Structure 1
Amino acid sequence: MLIHADFSQRALVTPDQHEWTPSPMAGVERVMLDRVGEEKARATSLVRYAPDSHFARHLHPGGEEILVLSGVFSDEHGHYPAGWYLRNPPGSAHQPFSVEGTTIFVKLWQMQPSDSHTVRIDTNDAAAWQRQNGREVCPLFSSETEQVCLQRLAPGQTVVAASANGAELLVLDGSVAMAGQPCAPGSWLRLPEGDAPSITASAQGATVYLKTGHLSRTALTTSSALKA
């Protein structure tokens, strides 16, 4: 299965384009934002758990990154309400579930083989935020190949995505505009190497998830080799 699989091209999925499809587990649906592969895939998705639904215990050979968007996401390691950021490194395993229901943003098979970091950050904690370049930033992860953060933007502020190696953005609150294209909450954008359009917060401001540096040819080749 190939969905937005040409990483040399810009990709944009707005909420009106979300197509929820069943997963192999009852009560769990997903919107596939990009995907290379079938069930074992390099994938970026929105995943929705109905109340009292679960996924079978499984391995993450290529790692897993999660941002909880609503409800409470759980596994045998803990319970994570909306706003929690999780990283499960390559080789980790868990059995996720949700009692009340949840929607999460998930990235699979996109970590480097050397990434051994387990990360748990509550982005609702004011102490997790700092002031950078005139805006509030919540750093989530940083390595030689990727930088991940949340940014809170005042009206008219631009997203700081200073990377020649591609960027990816999910609008969490408020809205932004990219080259005149409005992007409401739930909009997902992926920018290839060298593509740096102006992305500006609307009149109500915006909060966005931002990942940069991970779409270089070297990083993509390495994560593909891990999956092989």
Structure 2
Amino acid sequence: MTDPTGLNDDFNKRVVIDTNLMDWQASPSPNVWRKRLHHSGPAEAGVVTSIVRYEPGSEFPAHPHPDGEEIFVLDGIFSDDSGDYPAGTYILNPEGFSHAPSSGPGCTLFVKLRQYTGARLQVRKNSKVLDWRESPDGQFKTLLLDDQEGFLGRTELIRILPDAKMVAGKYQNGTEIFVLEGAFGDESGDYSRGFWIRNPPANENNILRTRDGCTLLLKSDCFS
């Protein structure tokens, strides 16, 4: 079955969603729930960005990922055939990867499916044990998660320090932001933990401000 309208599938429009206000929806696997932020294509085989929650002891049957998969573990512990991944772990499974995911204690994930074609390298990074790089002006710190030569898109963590004000820059191929901790604001509004913002290609420079600091999962130049 194909969704004829799609969900937030016009990448020329800015999208802002407070995921805290969304209801959990059932997935094909019992005790695994999701909040879809973007979807296009077949109902269970399309391009999708979502928040996924595994209840304790839940699991998915083994399945492939024809066009790759990106995961950031928001809380709990996520597991599959290759290991156990605690909160703060970034995972990129390349095209053709197969696994049987599960969670013993339960977990919540930020997930992007069918958006990583080509012969990419597999990535596993635990952000809790890696060193961050501070900006020259001391306003923020960054932690690179994925940026592979020959492929569109860059994924990183941005930690904006308290009382900071910074120019977000202009990205030719758009950005996605998921607020992991704290809150920030810009000319259009204020965004706290759980907000997802997608800015269209060539979006104008934007000044970000934060009083108490925040941590963001940022994908830049990610739309062709």
Flag whether TM exceeds 0.5 (same fold).
Answer: yes
1:122 aligned partner: 126
Question: What residue ranges of structure 1 are gaps of 5+ in the alignment?
Answer: 217-228
1:175 aligned partner: 183
1:84 aligned partner: 89
Corresponding letter in the other structure for 1:176 = F
Corresponding letter in the other structure for 2:153 = E
Alpha-carbon distance in structure 1 between the residues aligned to 2:112 and 2:134? 27
Is the Cα–Cα contact under 8 Å of residues 73 and 86 in structure 2 kept in the other structure?
yes
1:67 aligned partner: 72
2:46 aligned partner: 41
Alignment of structure 1 residues 1-150 onto 2, 5 Å: 1=3, 2-37=6-41, 38-113=43-118, 115-127=119-131, 129-133=132-136, 134=138, 135-143=140-148, 144-150=151-157
Number of equivalenced pairs: 214
C-alpha displacement of 1:160: 3.6
C-alpha displacement of 1:89: 0.1
* Secondary structure in 2 matching 1:67: strand
The range that moved more, 82-91 or 200-209, is 200-209
Is the Cα–Cα contact under 8 Å of residues 68 and 95 in structure 2 kept in the other structure?
yes
- Relative to structure 1, the CA distance from residue 190 to residue 100 in structure 2 (aligned partners, 3 Å threshold; closer, same or farther) is same
C-alpha displacement of 1:157: 2.9
Alpha-carbon distance in structure 2 between the residues aligned to 1:132 and 1:162? 18
1:208 aligned partner: 216
Query: Normalization by structure 2: what TM-score?
Result: 0.90
Query: Normalization by structure 1: what TM-score?
Result: 0.89
- Relative to structure 1, the CA distance from residue 199 to residue 100 in structure 2 (aligned partners, 3 Å threshold; closer, same or farther) is farther
Alpha-carbon distance in structure 1 between the residues aligned to 2:117 and 2:12? 20
Is the Cα–Cα contact under 8 Å of residues 14 and 199 in structure 2 kept in the other structure?
yes
Is the Cα–Cα contact under 8 Å of residues 71 and 103 in structure 1 kept in the other structure?
yes
C-alpha displacement of 1:178: 3.0
Query: Which 4+ stretches in 1 moved above 4 angstroms?
Result: none
- CA-atom RMSD in angstroms: 1.5
* Secondary structure in 1 matching 2:210: strand
The range that moved more, 154-163 or 45-54, is 154-163
- Over residues 125-166 of structure 1, what are the superposed CA-to-partner deviations in whole Å (9 max), with x where a residue is unaligned? 143x22234321100111341111001001333364542110
- Over residues 21-71 of structure 1, what are the superposed CA-to-partner deviations in whole Å (9 max), with x where a residue is unaligned? 010100000000000021001000000000000011110001000000000
- Over residues 82-117 of structure 1, what are the superposed CA-to-partner deviations in whole Å (9 max), with x where a residue is unaligned? 00000000010110000000000000111132x321
1:165 aligned partner: 173
